[in-house]
Structure 1
Amino acid sequence: MDKIDVCNMALSRIGIDNIEALTEPSEPARACSQFYDHCRRVVLRKYPWTWATRRVKLAELTDKPQGFSYAYRYPASCVALRKLYNAYFDNIPAYTGYQIVSDKEGRAIYTNVANVSAEYTADIDDTGLFDEQFIEALSWKLAGAIAFKLTGNAQLPGYCDEQYMALFLDAAANNEDEQNMRDKEPYTLIAARFGGDF
């Protein structure tokens, strides 16, 4: 399963013929090329997928921001920062405070906590690492993004989004099960936790 396969799944969902490459001179290829990476990052960002989770010790910056004791470089591959921690905090509490800012080198994290590590969802583009249910959800997300452009059917994007939402919630629930955590979140709460604008 590669990027073209995911795109062709999305095209099939809306009744459009398959493509051979994203670079071919066709409207379906141009639409998939335009929306694929955006949709992939949106679905990645929506949930802490186990296969996309990364943990790194943050690089401390030499410049000390006003009002904070430490500055760290934001992880380059991060699409969603899940938590900050160190030897004393499993998850740095809100009262200690941290702020994410942009500087000339990219993004930085300002905080008053020393020796910080981060847990985050990475910008994974290797489809070989994708969970099968993630692929199902992503293909529907992409189908919804390209449906009107390719078919002119104003009802089709809404249908695709409904299918995406159902598959996303199922994929998130199964991913939660695989974590085998003591205080595992019940299946019925996942929709509430990750509900809203998908």
Structure 2
Amino acid sequence: MSSANPVSICSNALLRLGGKAIASFEEPSTQAGQCANLWPTVRNKLLRAYPWNCATKRVILAPMEAAPAFDFQYQFQLPSDWLRTLQVGKKDCPIPFRQEGRRILANVTQLPLVYIWLNDNPGTWDDALVDVAELKMMAVLAYPVTASTTLRDTCFQEAAMAEKMAKAVDGQDEPPEVLGGSDLIEARFGGRW
């Protein structure tokens, strides 16, 4: 488990830019204020961008009391920490649904949901994801701290490359996908011609 936290991520980003470290978002400095304002958006965009293992949750939702006006029998309130829907229904049994605002409409009485949640504790993140967060913060702080558009653009490119690598590593923690036995697959790989 990492010892990272939002302040350390932002402080490291500032140090990488040649700025001064911060110890708190409440410090009376321009950089602390910028970090406090920018961090939530950077964090949420980063978490929403990929189904990171550290930010994926499963729940079974119960329907709300009020039914939708038409087309669906039930509506379900998304969890308060929801950022992005990954799966509605079980893996091999998806449920037809429609998302409207922070509600999901469906014709079932229980709704299995896999989603990205607002994991705002970077101490539970993979180190590669923490590094990406530092690089993303460095990119958004580059112009305010250095007034250099060239450095800003370079930082965004570096962050994008690090994000690709972090996604690849995170994806390797998943078991390989097994293809189902269809006639085409059996004919091609099962020895039947």
TM-score, reference length from structure 2: 0.84
Q: Deviations over 1:69-93 (max 9, x none)?
A: 111111211111101114xx63526
User: Shift in Å at residue 117 of structure 1?
Assistant: 1.0
Partners of 1:54 and 1:91 in 2: how far apart? 18
2:30 to 27, 31, 44: 27
The reply to whether residue 92 of structure 1 matches residue 94 of structure 2 is yes
The reply to whether residue 131 of structure 1 matches residue 130 of structure 2 is no
Partners of 2:157 and 2:178 in 1: how far apart? 29
Cα pair 2:58 2:113 within 8 Å, conserved: yes
For the pair shown, the structure with the greater C-alpha radius of gyration is 2
1:71-150 matches, within 5 Å, as 71-86=75-90, 90=92, 92=94, 96=96, 98-102=97-101, 107-150=102-145
Partners of 1:122 and 1:183 in 2: how far apart? 27
TM-score, reference length from structure 1: 0.82
Partners of 1:38 and 1:9 in 2: how far apart? 18
Structure 1's unaligned 5+ residue stretches are 185-198
Partners of 2:93 and 2:140 in 1: how far apart? 35
Cα pair 1:27 1:150 within 8 Å, conserved: no
Q: Secondary structure at the match of 1:82?
A: strand
Runs of 4+ residues over 3 Å off in structure 1 = none
Cα pair 2:75 2:105 within 8 Å, conserved: yes
Cα pair 2:54 2:119 within 8 Å, conserved: no
Structure 2's unaligned 5+ residue stretches are 180-193
The percentage of counterpart residues that share the same residue type is 25
1:176 equivalent in structure 2: 171
CA RMSD of aligned residues (A): 1.7
- Residues 54 and 171 of structure 1: CA distance in aligned 2, closer, same or farther (over 3 Å): same
- Alignment: residue pair count: 175
